[in-house]
Amino acid sequence: MQDEKLKRKDFLKNIAGLAVDTTVGTPGEPPPNEPDPLFKKYARKTLGPRRYSLQIENPNPGGPGMYERVGNVTSGLNPYAGAWTVWEATHLLRRVGFGIKKAELEAMLALTPSAAVDAMLTLSAPSNPSPTPLNHYQATAVDSGGILLGNSWTSNNLAYLTGSNDDTVNSYRQNSLVDWSWGLCINENTTIREKMTKFWYHFIPVNFDDVRSLQNNSATMCHDYMNLLRSNALGNFKTLIKSIAKMPAMLIYLGNQSSTATVPNENFARELMELFTLGKVPTQNYTEPDVIAASRVLSGWRCPSFITAYPFAPGFNSAYHNQTNKVFSSFFGTTTINNQTGANGANEFDIFFDMLFTQQQDTIARYVCRRLYRYFVYYDIDANVEANVIVPLAAFLVSNNWEMAPVVNKLFKSEHFFDAANKGVMIKSPLDFITGTLRTLNINTTAAAGATQLANQYTIWHYFQNYANTYLEQGYGLVPNVSGWKAYYQGPMYYQNWINSYSIQKRAGLITSFINGFTTGSTSIKIDAIAFVQQWPNATIQDPDLLMDIFIQYLLPVDLPAQYKTDTKVQTLLGGQVTNSYWTTAWNNYTGTPTNTSYLNIVKTRLNSLLTTLLQLAEYQLM
């Protein structure tokens, strides 16, 4: 019984009633209708006294369907004044960035918590791997729209001529954008820029493939869209959503490009209210006539052509603008936006957004803050979180005139963000899982120099895009629908949507591949465990207890029980023995004679064994 008490506690318990894949069985996987034993590890978590039901989220205090919580979390937005240790710093780095780099962690620990957040909220334009995606696919200008190999294509629209639609190059360009975006995340500095860009992309998305299937020059459109999100990552929300409404990619994706005076397209107007500003939970603060009225206001905004020289020129065309008064419900103060004829019809756009953000400012602000909370903190918004975090944070957003930087700053500096209840409870997205592993363990993803370096580099990044999209259900630029990824909005499971009996096997398989090594883009992708530990002083590496602590701190979001650490140390670093000297001697033998193959293999085998054990823990899937 004592041994049982010393074992690490189960973080992730089986989800009651969770549907199991009933398709034909696959070799090496459990039979249909039987729960996957590996999947069980990653199911619903129990963390200390916190417990959640499977009911749908409802933030109304005392209302039906609320989450059951045992051990209330009452922390709010007061500035965090607690300890600043490795655990707090790694929590900040994982949530706001991707993975943990030794130099980044040490830099954070040298600061105060407040200064560390300030550092991560300092943005700069992309520079590494390059300011923009490049032509890595064609060696001759005639095949690439006039863009030479190695140059940026983002300010160049392809000249589509009748009968010679060169969709191939547009496809290459879209891949270039996607692959380069992975390169940005993998080479990210200590900043929120890329994580915040992904937040906006999930929140207000366009699907790259859908845009491509509907219109020429989709690659430049999608790049412009992502560039808007990136350059406004911590900017003004009202300004951002107004800009998005006129972006060519969004005009195509949600159909406003096809809107006419007599038949306004309602798609964008509907999603603007339901998904981008107001939401539908806990109540729906708009009506169907409001959607229709909004679609009439927005009619007339379109691009005149998609085969002209870059840049695109979206604007207002009065010939496509609905010529009626636009009447809104009591949710908007029964406002009527009087029809303006000719070019003056463009004025209705600003009048509408001013009405929206004035009449429904509290609804919009709380909705945005809930989306922000679920993306960066945790999915469960109960009565305490609503009252202590969402409501005051939303009021702060309004008082700052919709500027996001102060709001994000306040959230990440709060006692609630660093609350123990919010550490190690979010299942990593595929992007976090892959990029965080690459960055934390210093896995080389840089293509070797040579004539094919550029092509090989994009091949490496494309490997991870393909793996994430094919096996893990998150491809960059390929949201499943206009709502984004289910993990951030769909209750009751939320993050658990990332994990199923298929995807968890593929996560485990990728970890094995990282340890064993594989080649893509003529580059070996493999964890060098010896190089990883040699970042620390030799005296630290010699001590297996200190080395265990380092691995756990960098790889896991929470510490492990002492007995479990001891058991793992014995099974891996000590090679089944019980005395620390079995590791110390092995390491000293290797460093004394690094060319000795036997010494090298002993050390490498034991380090890889430790890595395998920790990376296959359920806790590694958490942040």
Q: What is the DSSP letter of 403?
A: B
Local confidence band at 69 (pLDDT 50, 70, 90 cut-offs): very low
pLDDT digits over 459-506, tens only? Answer: 999 999 999 999 999 999 999 999 999 999 998 889 999 999 999 999
Q: Which two tokens stand for residue 319?
A: 């010939």
pLDDT digits over 251-299, tens only? Answer: 999 999 999 999 999 999 999 999 999 999 888 999 999 999 999 999 9
With beta carbons less than 8 A apart as the criterion, state whether 360 and 332 touch. yes
Distance from the Cα of residue 161 to its chain's centroid: 38
Query: How far is residue 90's CA from residue 84's CA, in Å, rounded to a whole number?
Result: 10
Q: Which two tokens stand for residue 608?
A: 């890889």
Instruction: Give pLDDT, residue 383.
Output: 92
Average pLDDT over residues 210-236: 96
Q: Which two tokens stand for residue 150?
A: 């190695």
Smallest Cα–Cα separation from 339: which of 291, 300, 288? 300
Give the domain ranges of the chain: 89-117+425-524, 127-188+192-235, 254-359, 530-621
Calculate the alpha carbon distances from 547 to 100, 492, 608, 620 in Å.
16, 39, 13, 17
Residues paired with 337 in a beta bridge: 326
Answer yes or no: is pLDDT of 311 > 50.
yes
- Report the half-sphere exposure of 248 (CA within 13 A, side-chain side): 25
Local confidence band at 168 (pLDDT 50, 70, 90 cut-offs): confident
With beta carbons less than 8 A apart as the criterion, state whether 499 and 18 touch. no
Helices (DSSP H) in 121-188: which residue ranges?
A: 167-186
